[in-house]
Chain A
């Protein structure tokens, strides 16, 4: 549990006049569940987008499993073993749940145009294995019964789980979840929590953005707190909870230190 999987070094990002992130450094250990919290607009999702290559950082860099991550190239980062879900669910709505997960296999498979046109033995075998693995992923998150339903027709909770299944299909070493429990009721959150724990037990490190404080405190090994683009605290949930800067960021100056 002591080797570091992801090292973020002094990441900064500016949008026009707004400093969305300034010099954020953090390190995520292999096998842990690492939480990233902070008030709205603190820069959590920006951090995710930089990490997963949707944006390019102004300065700073990421090292993943000891190697530098290619910057600003989302598909290469997925190839390296980082998968993500989105705050506002982004599924391929017209496609079936199974197809959504099959798309996730894209990065680990190779069939090209010629293989598709001539439908070679290799392509057909690969296609069969894509399908089989996609089915397994759906089963893993517990929505195998909806495999053939159109993704946009699934219930909200199932859509969240489908997104996780699709991310898992890319065989990630690090799974980044952006507010997976948003809009879920208590039971759904509880199932999600045990799903996240199972994923961790199966050897995937997890980076979690979440507003549900109960979930974060119960689940995460360590937490980093962002406020106005700066990391103000990084520690275990018990210590973070008592940190004066964190309390003032969330509740205002008056509450800081009053415990």
Chain B
């Protein structure tokens, strides 16, 4: 009896220390978001032409940032789940570019919105399935397999666009219909376009997947302790395959969002997206060793990065962007690592 009570004592004392750490771990991402917003809001933006007069928190400004952020917000959730399962997809940027091209081609050739949309999503399923096949069936290391498809999807996207033209857009007898960029630009609710609301919807779905579905739990088990997952009878092959397909679908949705925002189907429009996705997910506290991570935190991480990059454009010239993103990636990786190591 006395042994048991002294044991609970020990637990409570360590708990106080742990609780502070746990609190920080759980909420730091929101604090960072607040800090970023406060800093950017207090900067005097009147001098800078990009944002119309007023501060960072002006309605127009917020709408602007959220519209531009739609692709990464769409992608972050599924990407998080994939990284939780201990796998990675470097082809998301190319998959996004290819989807943007496919979608724009369908639309410019007269296909109405809904069929074009669905067909592009189907392409996303295919692209994700190819990744899953290479990684799981042919057992090529995830990094290399998805580097191969990074090159492949980008190559196919470039080939779909005619020589001498950089993107699918009006011209050469074909005309992009006027509604093409409504999806990415036109405010339908609170001044925000469909693309943004789809991103929200996708994120909600991914949160449900993570918290309420077998898939989310199995992803965590597969990444956290693959042996345990196998021994518990979990089909890790199926789990990871579905996650690759989900990432493919979200990359397609992101491609549609980007294409309609830019009013053209640019094969390179997703370039660098894999880096942004990794950055956002690491910032949200997902461990690259797998097992750990929250969809919602990655979503907030994406908001932070987009606020920073868009907000930064008002403070420093555009050519600072790569430097800042690279530095952020290194810092996120280092801090993420230090936090997860303390955990044991």
A binds B: no
- B binding-site residues for A, Cβ under 8 Å: none
